[in-house]
């Protein structure tokens, strides 16, 4: 990203917004800082992971990242999810795993609601899909 980073810095921006995944975004942050960029860097969901720190290390300090999930959220369902995830993966859950967990919760609640009205094991698949969509 040397050329792009240099061109961006030469424009003297107040901030740079990065939309990228961990490896590319982390390397871009690193290059911007190594080239002397000191102003604000904002990153999107792709940088919302602790996996970025091994890439840009101390140069990550001071960036702002959009956060759709935090393993620090203090409620019972998050605590249960976080502990189960950490027991298996030995690390905090990333946002996409948490968002998938939330999606499964929505699906289970919808499935339970549909099943309480009409037993789902006897429904044709197309009808089950329609009822689930209506429930959600």
The per-residue DSSP string of 55-76 comes to: HHGGGGTT-EE--S--TT--SH
Cα first-last separation, the chain: 43
Quote the CA–CA distance of 3 and 7 in Å, as a whole number. Answer: 6
Domain ranges of the chain: 2-65, 76-135
pTM of the predicted model, to two decimals?
A: 0.58
Is 2-65 in CATH node 3.40.50.2300?
yes
Which residues, at least 6 apart from 24, have a Cβ–Cβ distance to it below 8 Å?
1
| Coil/strand/helix, residue 128 | helix
Which residue bears the tokens 């061109």?
A: 7
Quote the CA–CA distance of 91 and 99 in Å, as a whole number. Answer: 16
Residue ranges, the chain, pLDDT below 50? none
| Coil/strand/helix, residue 118 | coil
Supply the pLDDT for residue 95: 82
DSSP state of 35: T
Supply the pLDDT for residue 5: 93
Alpha helices for the chain (secondary structure H): 2-10, 22-34, 53-56, 76-89, 95-117, 125-135
Quote the CA–CA distance of 35 and 41 in Å, as a whole number. Answer: 14
Give me the helix-helix angle, 76-89 and 95-117, nearest 10°.
Answer: 120
């Amino acid at each position: 990203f040397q050329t792009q980073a240099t061109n961006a810095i030469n424009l003297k921006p107040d901030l740079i917004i990065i939309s990228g995944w961990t490896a590319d975004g982390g390397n871009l942050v690193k290059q911007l800082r190594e080239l002397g960029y000191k102003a604000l860097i904002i990153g999107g969901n792709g940088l919302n992971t602790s996996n970025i720190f091994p890439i840009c290390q101390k140069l990550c300090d001071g960036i702002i990242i959009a956060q759709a999930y935090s393993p620090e959220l203090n409620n019972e369902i998050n605590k249960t999810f976080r502990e189960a995830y950490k027991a298996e993966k030995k690390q905090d859950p990333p946002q996409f795993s948490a968002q998938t967990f939330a999606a499964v919760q929505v699906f289970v609640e919808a499935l339970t609601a549909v099943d309480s009205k009409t037993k789902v094991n006897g429904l044709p698949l197309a009808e089950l899909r329609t009822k689930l969509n209506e429930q959600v």
